[in-house]
Amino acid sequence: MVELFKSMPFSAKFGVIGCGIFLFCAVFAGLIAPYGEREIVGDVWEPASGAFWLGTDNLGRDMLSRLIYGAQTTIAVALAASILSFSIGMLLSFTAAVVGGWTDQVLSRVNDMLLAIPTLIFALVVLAALPQNIFILIGVMAIIDQTRVYRLGRAVAVDVVVQDFVEAARLRGEGWGWIIFKEILPNVLTPLIAEFGLRFAFAVLFLSTLSFLGLGIQPPAADWGGMVKDNKDGIIFLVPAALYPGAAIAILAVCVNMVVDWMLNRTSSLKGGRG
Amino acid sequence: MSDTLLDVRGLKIGATIFPPGEDPKDIEIVKGVSFTLEKGKVLGLIGESGAGKSTIGLASLAYGRGQVRITGGEVFLGGEDILKYRPSGIRSLRGRRVTYVAQSAAAAFNPAHKLGEQVIEATLRHGIMPRSQAMERAKHLFKILGLPNPETFGDRFPHQVSGGQLQRAMTAMALCPQPDLIVFDEPTTALDVTTQIDVLAAIKRAIEETGVAAIYITHDLAVVAQISDDIMVLRHGNTIEYGDVKQMIEAPREQYTKELLSIRSDIKPEAEDQSGALLRLNRIDAAYGAGLQVLFDVTMHLPKGQTLAVVGESGSGKSTTARVITGLLPPSKGEVLFKGEPLPPALKGRSKEQLRQIQMIYQMADTAMNPRQTVAEIIGRPLSFYFGMGGSEKAKRVSELLDQIEMGTGFADRYPAELSGGQKQRVCIARSLAAKPELILCDEPTSALDPLVAEGILKLLMDLQRETNVSYLFITHDIATVREISDSIAVMYKGRVVRFGPKSKVLAPPFDDYTDLLLKSVPEMELGWLERALASRKMEAAGN
């Protein structure tokens, strides 16, 4: 592990450290946060001080503590949604590419229909209609996101399906499972990993957007998008509170992509990453 | 020596490579090559892949492909060292004084523009002649190159003409700016033999009529013998032998040249009893989709332990026949009998045991192996899939198979990208052997390989046949290969079997028209073959 880390280029190291800090905050939020998530500890929009390192928010809660708790919610929800959307999208797209024919047509056209609906409006309507809970939120984000994964997954898988080695596997009598997971998946991982980094960053942004609009994480739970919303009015009075969660979103997105970039370099090598 | 056009002195070309698990290092691709070329003469550069032929050819345009750098030596064109030219000087050189004809014309033409426009583009760019004149010249060149309807040929798009015509159009493009030198980079390698002879003749005539000098790069000594004045044999970036074409063909001095010349001299004696049939195709018709029928009434059979060669040019239905046998394309009529029993027409209907008995080897070993699996995984999969092997038993069998293909256990953990072309094809052979098949369908397994490597693969296949009594259905367009390995031959043309029988009968007169044309089109390693072949064709045409 240590050697692996040493062999990384600077950008990847930076990304790993950044992601590590965010993850640490997310996992151990209850231990490291100086105050409680919902605890009102001071005045509204107090400036940064020894007691409140990043000041307080619009209700007088400690900004740093909320940022740390926000990492927990935001990362967990975005990660869960990304993983779910990738699982669904990849499974459906590979099935479409390998089986072909009617299966492909039906899956692809349904996917096109979903794509035709603007994501935000779709999410707003569905989330407004369904009960507010975190699992439904994750599910809706995943369903919307998997349409993008499906398009990419099908495009790259179709390229691989026509290769001779897939034909050789078919001639051997292999089942769909083997062809999808052993022949195709390893060969399309590269673009999909790149996409995962991007999609995760988008999921963070999308969640933040939903929270900003009041349909994501419900107050008083902390999440970065909601925190921007709560504190946006402060900007008029030169209170920087809204900028911290905004910066956190940006830094997380950058760090994730730096790590993904490095992983891409490794996985795109056809020599098993030895090169 | 006022006639010297190109004078290459001690040319050295290097590149940086990135070997797995090591630091990047610099290697030399061309290690000090020298030659001269006079006006109106043709120099043939010959050697296997990686010999540096194309790299030298491109250096004559002061160009290095990819990571390649020219590290030493001088290239004098008309007395000036073009390697010292600045970018603007190089720009006025390329496409004007030196032009280039690539191997794959289909990939080199822009599909969105008409051929005529592309042919005169460089001429117009360099302002050599006005548009109308360039057009006239293009038409004139189309005519010299024997293209159909030279007046209107330029109005077509690349996809509207055949591969051989496209290659000739590219030659016209190279000739149009009236260059001093043309570099031909394997211009006929991707063509069928019957097309190759036309293109060769056209190129030769065009060179003679325009008086241009040429560097002709190929790996086929028989081809280069027809067209060049001098030949240089290259290997691993070194000159092996350099001299006059007559001396090279008739009295080569170096062992390597002799090997190149003597390829395919040992011919397998044909099996006497060809009555039995492991595989029998019975009046097969096959079509892609509803409209496009590709196979018409195909009947042939293959006895156990023997080799049936299926010969024909691209589009003749050879590979489709293989697809029908494998079940990938169910026939629309007729049946495939295996060991006397009809095989289910579609892949889905066949049992695992039936699938195991018929294995396949592909033309492109590159794409026939999953690049993400190691050699051991690739060879091991049929073992666990068909025989349920695992653990040490499987590992032992894998190493046996690796020994059988003359590679050894050391390769087990390599990925396909870490193998050479010949090694890749050997691994594919091992994968099909692992299934212990009765029949192996070989779809042009050697046509993408260098002659000496291909020879090794053929020898391996023949040894394996002796050891395991496996039968081969061997698809190829190369008559020399057919002569060497087959017991029986099926000649295919436009989806029909025009000739089928034991080798000795098929390759003996009287011939049908197509077989005759096919046999006469195969370049032979002797001077003046091209002229004789063309003359005999013309006489026949006149006689008809």
pLDDT at B2: 55
Q: Which of A69-73, A97-101, B137-141, B532-536 has the lowest mean pLDDT?
A: B532-536
Nearest CB to B371: which of A170, A270, A275?
Answer: A270
DSSP string, B374-386: -HHHHHHHHHHHH
Portion of chain B with pLDDT greater than 90, in percent: 28
- Count interface pairs A-B at CB distance under 8 A: 63
Helices (H), chain A: 2-7, 10-27, 29-32, 63-99, 101-116, 119-129, 134-161, 164-172, 176-178, 185-212, 224-231, 243-267
Residue B381 has pLDDT above 50, yes or no: yes
Residue in A closest to B346 by C-alpha: A171
Is A112 part of the contact surface with chain B (CB cutoff 8 Å)?
no
Q: What is the pLDDT of residues A196-226, one digit of tens each?
A: 888 888 898 899 888 888 888 887 888 888 8
Q: How far apart are CA A211 and CA B163, in angstroms?
A: 60
Q: What is the pLDDT of residues B363-378, one digit of tens each?
A: 888 889 998 899 999 9
Asked if B44 and B218 touch (Cβ cutoff 8 Å), the reply is yes
Q: For residue B442, what pLDDT band results from cuts at 50, 70 and 90?
A: very high
CA distance to partner chain B, nearest, from residue A265 (Å) = 14
Residue A2 has pLDDT above 90, yes or no: no
Helices (H), B373-489: 375-387, 391-404, 421-434, 451-468, 479-485
Portion of chain A with pLDDT greater than 90, in percent: 31
Is B88 or B534 the better-scoring residue by pLDDT? B88
CB distance B372–A270 less than 8 Å?
Answer: yes
Residue in B closest to A275 by C-alpha: B20
Nearest CB to B369: which of A165, A182, A275?
Answer: A165
Is B241 or B541 the better-scoring residue by pLDDT? B241
Is B17 or B364 the better-scoring residue by pLDDT? B364
Termini Cα distance of chain A = 18
pLDDT at A275: 36
Residue B382 has pLDDT above 90, yes or no: yes
Q: Considering chain B, what is the average pLDDT of its residues?
A: 86
CB distance B347–A168 less than 8 Å?
Answer: no
Residues of chain B by 3-state class (helix, strand, coil), percent to 5: 40, 25, 35
Q: What is the pLDDT of residues B476-503, one digit of tens each?
A: 888 888 888 899 999 998 889 999 999 8
Phi, psi dihedral angles at B22 (to 5 degrees): -130, 170
Mean pLDDT over B103-121 rounds to 87
Q: For residue B472, what pLDDT band results from cuts at 50, 70 and 90?
A: very high
Q: How far apart are CA B1 and CA A13, in angstroms?
A: 63
Q: What is the pLDDT of residues B187-235, one digit of tens each?
A: 887 777 877 888 888 888 888 888 889 999 988 888 888 888 899 998 8
Q: For residue B429, what pLDDT band results from cuts at 50, 70 and 90?
A: very high
Residue B537 has pLDDT above 80, yes or no: no
Residue B264 has pLDDT above 90, yes or no: no
Q: For residue B1, what pLDDT band results from cuts at 50, 70 and 90?
A: very low
CA distance to partner chain A, nearest, from residue B459 (Å) = 24
Per CB-CB distance under 8 Å, the chain B contacts of A98 are none
CA distance to partner chain B, nearest, from residue A83 (Å) = 23
Bridge partners (DSSP) of residue B15 are B27
CB distance A171–B382 less than 8 Å?
Answer: no
Is A177 part of the contact surface with chain B (CB cutoff 8 Å)?
no
3-class DSSP state for residue A127? helix
Q: How far apart are CA A247 and CA B131, in angstroms?
A: 60
Mean pLDDT over B319-329 rounds to 90
Per CB-CB distance under 8 Å, the chain A contacts of B373 are 182, 186
Residue in A closest to B324 by C-alpha: A171
Residue B107 has pLDDT above 50, yes or no: yes
Per CB-CB distance under 8 Å, the chain A contacts of B18 are 275
Residue B292 has pLDDT above 50, yes or no: yes
The CA-based dihedral angle spanning residues A264, A265, A266, A268, taken in that order and rounded to the nearest 10 degrees: 70
Asked if B86 and B28 touch (Cβ cutoff 8 Å), the reply is no
Nearest CB to A183: which of B18, B19, B370?
Answer: B370
Portion of chain B with pLDDT greater than 70, in percent: 96
Q: How far apart are CA A183 and CA A171, in angstroms?
A: 13
Tokens of A216: 């994501």
**By C-alpha distance, which of B542, B520, B541 is closest to B531?**
B520
Q: How far apart are CA B316 and CA B45, in angstroms?
A: 32
Q: What is the pLDDT of residues B152-168, one digit of tens each?
A: 898 988 888 888 888 88
Residue in B closest to A186 by C-alpha: B372
pLDDT at B542: 59
Per CB-CB distance under 8 Å, the chain B contacts of A193 are none
Mean pLDDT over B327-333 rounds to 90
Mean pLDDT over B459-472 rounds to 92
Count CB atoms within 10 A of the CB of residue B201: 19
CA distance to partner chain B, nearest, from residue A264 (Å) = 15
CB distance B355–A173 less than 8 Å?
Answer: yes
3-class DSSP state for residue B288? strand
pLDDT at A273: 43
DSSP string, A213-273: TTSSSPTTS--HHHHHHHHGGGGGGT-GGGHHHHHHHHHHHHHHHHHHHHHHHHHT-TTTT
Q: How far apart are CA B159 and CA B167, in angstroms?
A: 12
